[in-house]
Amino acid sequence: RRAVSTETSAQPGLFAMTLKYEDPPKICCLGAGYVGGPTMTVMAKKCPEIKVTVCDLNERRIAAWNSSALPIYEPGLQEVVEEARGRNLFFSTDIESAIRECTIIFVSVPTPTKKSGIGAGEAADLTYWELAARQIAAVCNASENKMPKIIVEKSTVPVKTADAMAAVMAAACKGTDFQVLSNPEFLAEGTAIDDLFKPDRVLVGGPQTPQGLAAIECLANVYRKWVPTERVLTTNLWSAELSKLTANAFLAQRISSINSISALCEVTGADVSEVGHAIGVDSRIGPKFLKASVGFGGSCFQKDILNLVYLCRSFGLPEVAEYWHQVIVMNDWQKRRFANAMVATMFNTVSGKRIAILGFAFKKDTGDTRESPAIDVCKALSEERAKLAIYDPKVSREQYYEDLGKEAMEKIEIDEDPYVACAGAHAIAVITEWDVFKTLDYQKIFNSMSKPAFIFDGRNILDHRKLSEIGFTVWAVGKCMKKVLDTEGSPSP
């Protein structure tokens, strides 16, 4: 193992006066959640010569990462963990040792929206981020080895957070050179492993100083071991930080845009799926994120847009803030609209009626329920005194309690079989686009339900004409159902 300069032939002499980083560098990540765990796992698989340690204070979470029952579900993750774990991938609660021995320290801790104080409801809460910075500084101060460190923002943070961390480190850390970089994640849950194996781009931002550029090259070279060089983008710190917020804002904006059109389609007789396809074949627009639904969820979209709104207001840009805030307003309206449509269609009352909720995760192929539309729909229906029976193939019973509250859960049934959830129900609401819901025996389900039997497709994944032929009263987002059924053909006699 040797310490080397990151000087490259393309930029001769640029790093001649910089401190040298260990090559290959040891890497650790503070935070073993949805971002830190999968990211470090793939990095360990692709870089077998690099020791990668994932740290967390939560002993149960680390124990799960070291077991056959991982704490998160992601297609392909289990196989990659089992290949690298114990070879060059380690999961540990010993955070101090990891900080002490590693050159590159990723910080992937929660940055939730503030619930109180200045910026409540919009600004990011950086409490965990600052605590991580202070712990890194304390360990470095106590260590005899003063090798230079690279601290990497992996959490989604506001613009200029790196400056704040640098200020904390400068005041608290003596004798150790550190460079703070931004390396935002662009993962989509359900496809995270594929996203990490073949990313559209890897973004590394840092100080535009000789040592900062050396740090950028050190981290970029790790990614270049499996990511083509042209896809490893380097920028200044602020561009990297803002790019993450902007990317999520643009994606969420597309969803809210097509959802707004879905309401217009329902009252005009247009079909939102046809409209989405027609505009998506335009190469300037593209087809992704143009499927109407009950609304977007997940840990990032709402949080990041609210953060962007807060930043704009803080910098005196109220018009820009209001523009982006409307994306959230539309999403909240779409969720309320779905629940209201259910009540209105079922003769303006769901009181005492059993409703089967199919899907609770915010999207398929994940057990993550953060900001899931299902939470809002279930709460709205519960307020109308409906009796809910919920089925999701990956969400744990504990997660339902966390999202809906103990009091509400006393009146809600959680089922491990979709047929059980639907039996005796007056209505079915498809909230998550799990593939399994497409292949259920809906004739069997219809026979077991109270009549009239309603089905509300919040993802447009079902065969609506076939459901109507079976006998269901069908409602689908963005479709005038009478128009659709008339167009597709009347039920067979």
Active site (catalytic) residues = 300
| Residue 267 burial (CB count, 10 A) | 8
Instruction: Reduce the DSSP state of residue 92 to 3 states and report it.
Output: strand
Q: How far apart are CA 429 and CA 454, in angstroms?
A: 9
Residue 418: φ, ψ to 5°: -60, -30
What is the DSSP secondary structure assignment for residue 435, as one 8-state letter? G
At residue 208's C-alpha, the angle toward residues 204 and 212, to 5°, is 70
* Beta-bridge partner residues of 54: 29, 91
Residues in contact with 62: Cβ distance below 8 Å, sequence separation at least 6, in sequence order: 32, 55, 56, 91, 92, 93
Report the chain's terminal Cα–Cα distance, integer Å.
78
The DSSP string of 319-385 is: HHHHHHHHHHHHHHHHHHHHHHHHHHHTTT--TT-EEEEE--SSSTT----TT-HHHHHHHHHHHTT
Give the start-end residues of each E strand in 365-459: 387-391, 413-414, 427-430, 454-457
Residue 92: φ, ψ to 5°: -150, 155
